[in-house]
Amino acid sequence: MTGGAVPADDVTLAGLHRSGRLAASYPRVPGLLADLPDDELTRAGHLLARLDPDEVLRHHPSTPVLTVAVTGHSTLGPLVPPLTAELARHGMLARPRLSDFDGYVFDLGDPGSALYAAGPDLVLCVLDPDIVFDEVPVPWTVADVERTLDAKVALVRGLAAACHRRTDATLVLNTLPLPRRFTAQLVDHRSRARLGAAWRAANARLLTLGEEFPSVVTLDLDPLLAEGIAAEDPRLGRYAGMGLSPALLARYAREIGHLARHLTGRGKKALVCDLDGTLWGGVLGDDGPDGVEVGEGPRGAAFTAFQKVVRQLGSQGVLLAVVSKNDPGPVDEALREHPRMTLRPADLVRVAASWRPKPDGIAELARDLNLGADSFVFVDDSAYECGLVRHALPEVTVVRLDEEPALHVDRLLRDGWFDTRELNAEDRARPARYREELGRQSFLDSFDSIADYLSELGVWVRLAPVTEAEIPRAAQLTLRTNQFHTAVRRLQPAQVSALAAGPGTRVLGISSGDRFGDNGMVGLIVTRAEGGVLRIDNFVLSCRVFSRGIETACLAAVLADARATGAGAVEAVYRPGPRNAGVRDLYPDHGFVPAGEEDGALLFRHDLADVAAPPPHIRFVESLEETH
């Protein structure tokens, strides 16, 4: 090989870049970045930051893109490469917009600023301790710092309020580290304690801004600093104006990657665990249910700690399952009867113990739960099994553990796979509802026909404008639903609230249940009345309730209500996305006819001359005519 030629099979990130194939090969990037250490990930970010997002989109138009505005008090250029890499690691593209040094007050305070003009999806306002200490006198006292802290928190709150009013973007703030170089300038311990208390009180106020403004997220930097990351680099601070160290900015970028994944509907819903070497030590087939390591001794305690974390995730709506190569009898005995077992069968939506390949067990679980494979995280200590799942089910996220159980927790939690903006009652009820769904599958198997099954299932539906209490769940449905999502429009709570209160617009919540239980809010329809025409801007339905006729019943109700209230027609929009091809024919299948295209979306129209009745097996407990 001469002249710097690159072999066609060079699929390293650098090789793809040198050969000009990086944009065309962008779907391969997450795999190339998956196991890189932090320093190499940042170097990869420098390379990826040179990539034109529009070139990637020409090859892969469904790639999620986030415009990220970066502003703050200090030099923040070093944040861009790790930020670009972290989004790429999760299959997204970043369009970063870096503000001028110390421009955050103007950026967020001026409605005509370039930050707002950029139309960002994310605004990162990176705060550092110098926003306080740059403004205290010399010499200074704790009282001086307290006054400055109060003023700065009030300023940041005002900027957050302005951003909340002016844009739908998510604003990310952060707590302020307190480096020792400040506390050490106070020679008495009582003053140091008072400074620490004032500083923590100010950070507590920053952390509560998200409760006041739903579009605000405040990242707590203390847990990152507790990992041993330096808050600042003295030389870069003095000579380059960097308020936070490059290592801290890189970890900050990882947290932003988790948030961005949630905002683009790429969060995970299910955690599938192996058993031997993962949830307990030893080999069940050799050691028997009483011989596995759990709860006793150093290694047994490490496995118990891991089980506690898994159960904690399950308590917050993560679906837990086991897929293991073992005989089912001993597995059931160990989970039910081992005196020191933390996870029990009641915590799991399924225990799949057999000698089949593990990808088959995961795929079967995905089918039965009606979830895409990309909703799953698979955890195993076997390199072979991890490689097999990666090859057979590339959409599944694989977390490889090893023989050191003390590190299991850190490896599982490293990437915040299940992070969400806000937890609600629907999240906590999710595992029980999916267990009910598996009961429905068994119930279905007892019938000779789908019609008989649906008739006996007793499906009920409530279709009504969302209440204020339902707005967070309505927003969450748009963020987490991918398959039945006609417009692929992700909405934050503030956007849902504005639509619900807007003139001529309605956000209709869909709740359902049946003989097995209440499913809660499972969907929404966003409508807009304009010039005698009702337009369906978005229709979202959870995969938990597919194939029950709920979408047909709700469309029939919307059409009948439109005709009853004097509309001349109903229009609807379908926008192709990476995973919503299954609803492309939703509107044609329900009497709509093609009506052209609009900004890449397909338009459909129903003249309301013939409105079908809802399916007879569905009972409305509240419908639109009751809401007028």
41 Cα distance to chain centroid: 21
pTM of the model: 0.81
Q: How far apart are CA 285 and CA 563, in angstroms?
A: 66
Overall size of the chain counted in residues? 628
Of 26-40, 339-353, 527-541, 601-615, give the lowest mean pLDDT range. 26-40
CA distances from 610 to 168, 185, 542, 553 (A): 39, 80, 28, 15
CATH number at residue 448: 3.40.630.30
Bigger pLDDT: 224 vs 502: 224
Domain check: are 236 and 359 in the same one? no
pLDDT of 65-87, one tens digit each?
999 999 999 999 999 999 999 99
Residue 267 makes CB contacts below 8 A (sequence gap 6+) with: 261, 417, 418, 419, 420, 479, 480
Domain check: are 351 and 392 in the same one? yes
Q: For residue 8, is it within any domain? A: no
Please determine, for residue 189, whether its predicted confidence score (pLDDT) is greater than 90: yes
Domain check: are 304 and 326 in the same one? yes
Q: How far apart are CA 491 and CA 507, in angstroms?
A: 12
Mean pLDDT calculated for residue range 200-205: 98
The boundaries of the domain holding residue 582 are 439-627
End-of-domain residue from the set 226, 242, 263: 263
Report yes or no: 367 and 337 within 8 Å, Cβ to Cβ.
no
Mean pLDDT calculated for residue range 130-148: 96
Quote the number of domains for the chain. Answer: 3
pLDDT interval class at 626 (50, 70, 90): low
Domain check: are 173 and 292 in the same one? no
In 3D, which of 274, 225, 269 has the Cα closest to residue 408?
274
Q: How far apart are CA 531 and CA 555, in angstroms?
A: 21
Q: How far apart are CA 316 and CA 454, in angstroms?
A: 31
Strands across the sheet with 122-126, in order? 93-98, 65-72, 122-126, 170-174, 216-219
Please determine, for residue 10, whether its predicted confidence score (pLDDT) is greater than 60: yes
Domain check: are 59 and 189 in the same one? yes
Q: How far apart are CA 422 and CA 262, in angstroms?
A: 11
Query: Residue 370: what pLDDT?
Result: 81
Please determine, for residue 539, whether its predicted confidence score (pLDDT) is greater than 80: yes
pLDDT of 400-439, one tens digit each?
999 999 999 999 999 999 998 887 777 787 777 777 777 7
Query: Residue 509: what pLDDT?
Result: 95
Q: Helices in 565-622 by DSSP H: which ranges?
A: none
Of 26-40, 237-251, 373-387, 518-532, give the lowest mean pLDDT range. 26-40
Mean pLDDT calculated for residue range 178-201: 97
The reply to whether omega before 81 is within 30° of 0 (cis) is no
Domain check: are 110 and 198 in the same one? yes
pLDDT of 272-314, one tens digit each?
999 999 999 998 988 888 889 999 889 999 999 999 999 999 9
Please determine, for residue 5, whether its predicted confidence score (pLDDT) is greater than 60: no
Strands across the sheet with 270-273, in order? 350-354, 319-325, 270-273, 376-380, 397-400
Report yes or no: 63 and 57 within 8 Å, Cβ to Cβ.
yes
Please determine, for residue 580, whether its predicted confidence score (pLDDT) is greater than 80: yes
Q: For residue 252, is it within any domain? A: yes
Determine the 3-state secondary structure of 85 from DSSP: helix
Q: How far apart are CA 546 and CA 583, in angstroms?
A: 11
Q: For residue 73, is it within any domain? A: yes
Mean pLDDT calculated for residue range 442-468: 84
Q: How far apart are CA 177 and CA 232, in angstroms?
A: 9
pLDDT interval class at 627 (50, 70, 90): low
Domain check: are 219 and 242 in the same one? yes
Domain check: are 94 and 117 in the same one? yes
Query: Residue 1: what pLDDT?
Result: 36
Please determine, for residue 38, whether its predicted confidence score (pLDDT) is greater than 90: no
Q: Which residues are 241's β-sheet partners?
A: none
Query: Residue 436: what pLDDT?
Result: 74
Determine the 3-state secondary structure of 368 from DSSP: helix
Domain check: are 365 and 229 in the same one? no
pLDDT interval class at 6 (50, 70, 90): very low
Residue 7 makes CB contacts below 8 A (sequence gap 6+) with: 1, 15
CATH number at residue 289: 3.40.50.1000
CA distances from 267 to 101, 251, 261, 539, 577 (A): 33, 19, 6, 20, 16
Domain check: are 385 and 455 in the same one? no
Instruction: State the average pLDDT for the chain.
Output: 91
CA distances from 93 to 67, 84, 115, 126, 377 (A): 9, 7, 19, 21, 22
Query: Residue 2: what pLDDT?
Result: 39
